Structure 1
Amino acid sequence: MKQEMVTFLSVLKDDILDLTKYLYNNPEESFYEYKAYNYISGLLKGFGFKVESNYLNMPTSFYAQYGEGHPKICFICEYDALKEKGHVYGYNAESAISTAAALALSRIIPKVGGSCIVIGCPGEILSGSKITMLEQGTFEDLDAVLMVQPHVVTCESGNSMAVLPLQIKYTENQNNNDITGNYSALDACLFTFDALNMLSKGFGDNCFINGVNVNSINDAFPQSVEAKFCLRAPSSMIANAIEDKIKNFINMTCSLLNISSELHLYGMPCKELITNSTLDRLFSHNLKESGIINIDGVKNIYSPLTLGNVSHVVPCIHPYVSIVENNSIKYGTKQFADATISAYAQDVIMKSAAALAFTAFDLISKQSLIGEAKTELKSNTTNMKYSEHYI
């Protein structure tokens, strides 16, 4: 079966190269990826996938399926870019890997059963669409979610940070008087961030408060001040505990200064990525079998991944493959974007696609592996408690 997929991938090579180059030449901003969406969904339709367009009323999202019933193995396509800089995050190559893997798996689905799913997820750079899809139940019926991130290193799937984008609004009370003292909303805001700077030292080395942005009325003593910041922590449970401390401090501040406050989210919260070691082990073995031998351990990142939320519901992996020959090239640069269409990158894309397809085949042909992956996920999440912000 695996050899049949390899043979089919060799036939697809030009189609996948064309896809990678097309997305490279047509970078589109988050949620405006109409060309990418049409190209990828059209390619899948051409090979017999049933494609639901404008999935969940998101114009550049799609849900494609080949086959029926379980196991349902899902591949993720992300395809937005920075319009002025291009595919500096390599989502064109990522989509090429997922699409090629899905097409290879579809070749053998009639013989082994199950379903091959491809979900087009727009807007990853701007917090993504996967969290909305999760809220709508998209991932609940899936057995595994697989994707590979092109990078400057080849590493096993690791963890990402949990992130809460919080906004505090302080407003002066109309009944301020000389007994309680006259404090401005700006006083309360400055007091809060001075305290948070001190409190953050007790959060741990891997917890951060950053991205602070303060807006107020343009006068010396504004009546209302809004402050935005990102709370980052190794897990959503730790982020929740820190948020509770922040709430307690804000309540104390309001009482001391006779100021009113509101605390809410200004963006999508992200849970930490829980890498499924069962899936990661399978993929690493298949990556070596496909010809990519050197894997440099686990890669943990300090950025949020919307796949993190999904990983708390269905077994997921997010490994990395290096698509660069020149070690001086940095991820997230124009040079990296250019490297995605090199001959070297194309070879890595096809090998990674093969490894992803092999992993999916392993899960379908030996369904006890799916049971193992789901048992592991349940073990990792059973005692987790989430705040109201998290799904």
Structure 2
Amino acid sequence: MPTASASTTVEDAVRRRRGDLIELSHSIHAEPELAFAEFRSCAKTQTLVAERGFEVTKAVAGLDTAFRADFGSGSLVIGVCAEYDALPEIGHACGHNVIAASAVGTALALADVADELDLTVVLFGTPAEEAGGGKVLMLDAGVFDDVAAAVMLHPGPLDIARARSLALSQVAVTYLGREAHAAVAPFLGLNAADAITVAQVAIGLLRQQMAPGQMAHGIVTNGGQATNVIPGHAEMAYTMRANDAASLRELEARMSDCFLAGAIATGCEHRVEPTEPAYHELAPDQWLAEVFRDEMVRVGRSPVGADVEAALPLGSTDMGNVTQLLPGIHPIVGIDAGGASVHQPGFATAAAGPSADDAVVEGAIMLARTVVRLAESSTERERVLARQQRRVAS
């Protein structure tokens, strides 16, 4: 169990900065920015930790809106992940302003006990979670190599200690046919829009045979420009999800055949191109998740049970890739959104409301106290350090 002094210190540190953290959350919320263009939000997320003495390294992994901020020189390196990208048109309907502010609060609190607990605290600014896979690119660049464990939280309609997610990949599909006048000589054309129709019908029929957890959803991004011209160029974007990476690969292969069917049926050429790195499913560390569950209960929250966790609808996150490589958690901290869920306008409004402000503060407290528990448990500390050493050596 943590010493009273360290756990009390981090909680007091967060509560002292409550006003600053809520101001940060509201400021990011007021100026939503899309993936890889979160310049203001990235700068705002760095401000408080820079003032505290964190050493900030900007544009890590070659990403203009990514950063790493380090404090301390302890043997146990803990990463705290901040997200701050928004969604097109509906802004912070995923509540990333809450994620950023709670991450800053966690980092500031842990800085106050870094020497006592032999910690190095690292705040990661991770762009483009909604589209682009910022964490995947940072992992590939080695930015997480020295990190023994990584933590973050996400707002949602419920409290979920051991949140799961689906593996995900996204592609752009292009069909190239031949234009022709739709009335004078349609027989001279190869209809790229028809290729999309055939592919979508094939996908619709495939859904009956998809394995549990497999999903596909897409939109037409270019279906032609004029009704009297046979479209010679058409495009669509598709997202594929599955319970795990192996199931996702199976789905990708079957979807590829559906895309091909459109080309064969219409005589068009086609290409399928990934638009971002694949997201793996979350693999939350069991010990860290259970400690966080204890902290949820301690502050008066009611996390859903393990049986409910396993049955809840899922999204996808690039934090899954992080947890596949190192111990980590991505719990959901509930806010009152009036019945709205993530990616709905009502949730965007709620993300700057009173319950979201509480989630910022309580979330930072819970994350910081969870890290304190890890740092003070000799068995668990050694476990995550040994895993980090094996990972780097392999």
Judge same fold: TM > 0.5, yes or no.
yes
Please give the alpha-carbon distance, in whole angstroms, between the structure 2 residues aligned to 1:60 and 1:286: 32
Letter of the 1:100 partner, please give it.
Answer: G
CA contact (8 A) 1:112 1:364 kept: yes
Letter of the 2:365 partner, please give it.
Answer: A
2:218 corresponds to 1:211: yes
Letter of the 2:99 partner, please give it.
Answer: E
Please give the alpha-carbon distance, in whole angstroms, between the structure 1 residues aligned to 2:259 and 2:341: 40
Please give the per-residue CA displacement for 1:18-61, whole angstroms capped at 9, x wherever unaligned: 22232233333333333322222121011111111222333322
Please give the alpha-carbon distance, in whole angstroms, between the structure 1 residues aligned to 2:358 and 2:176: 58
Match of 1:305 in 2: 317
Match of 2:201 in 1: 194
Distance 1:376 1:257, change over 3 A: farther
Distance 1:260 1:347, change over 3 A: closer
Please give the per-residue CA displacement for 1:124-160, whole angstroms capped at 9, x wherever unaligned: 3333411211221222321111111122211123221
2:343 corresponds to 1:347: no
Which residues in structure 2 correspond to 1:223-372 (within 5 Å)? 225-247=234-256, 260-289=269-298, 291-297=299-305, 298=309, 300-324=312-336, 327-370=338-381, 372=383
Match of 2:184 in 1: none
Alpha-carbon distance, 1:13 to partner: 2.2
CA contact (8 A) 2:168 2:239 kept: yes
Please give the alpha-carbon distance, in whole angstroms, between the structure 2 residues aligned to 1:172 and 1:293: 57
Which residues in structure 2 correspond to 1:113-152 (within 5 Å)? 113-152=118-157
Letter of the 1:357 partner, please give it.
Answer: A
Alpha-carbon distance, 1:197 to partner: 2.5
Distance 1:168 1:54, change over 3 A: closer
Match of 1:6 in 2: 11
Aligned partner of residue 311 in structure 1, secondary structure: helix
Match of 1:65 in 2: 70
Comparing 128-137 with 331-340, greater Cα deviation is found at 331-340
Distance 1:171 1:61, change over 3 A: closer
Aligned partner of residue 293 in structure 1, secondary structure: coil
Letter of the 2:53 partner, please give it.
Answer: G
CA contact (8 A) 2:159 2:303 kept: yes
Aligned partner of residue 166 in structure 1, secondary structure: strand
Distance 1:82 1:214, change over 3 A: closer
Comparing 16-25 with 155-164, greater Cα deviation is found at 16-25
Alpha-carbon distance, 1:118 to partner: 0.5
CA contact (8 A) 1:157 1:317 kept: yes
Aligned partner of residue 9 in structure 1, secondary structure: helix
Please give the alpha-carbon distance, in whole angstroms, between the structure 2 residues aligned to 1:265 and 1:246: 13
Match of 1:387 in 2: none
Distance 1:334 1:168, change over 3 A: closer
Letter of the 2:367 partner, please give it.
Answer: L
Match of 1:177 in 2: none
CA contact (8 A) 2:338 2:346 kept: no
Comparing 334-343 with 69-78, greater Cα deviation is found at 334-343
For structure 1, the 5+ residue unaligned runs are: 174-181, 378-391
Match of 1:88 in 2: 93
Alpha-carbon distance, 1:247 to partner: 4.1
CA contact (8 A) 2:198 2:261 kept: no
Please give the alpha-carbon distance, in whole angstroms, between the structure 2 residues aligned to 1:233 and 1:310: 18
Comparing 97-106 with 130-139, greater Cα deviation is found at 130-139
Match of 1:383 in 2: none
Distance 1:374 1:201, change over 3 A: farther
Please give the alpha-carbon distance, in whole angstroms, between the structure 1 residues aligned to 2:275 and 2:89: 26
For structure 2, the 5+ residue unaligned runs are: 1-5, 179-188, 389-394
How many residue pairs get aligned? The number is 367
Please give the alpha-carbon distance, in whole angstroms, between the structure 2 residues aligned to 1:6 and 1:221: 65
2:87 corresponds to 1:78: no
Alpha-carbon distance, 1:74 to partner: 0.9
1:17 aligned to 17, 22, 26, which one? Answer: 22
Alpha-carbon distance, 1:301 to partner: 4.0
Distance 1:98 1:220, change over 3 A: same
CA RMSD of aligned residues (A): 3.2
CA contact (8 A) 1:75 1:147 kept: yes
Distance 1:223 1:159, change over 3 A: same
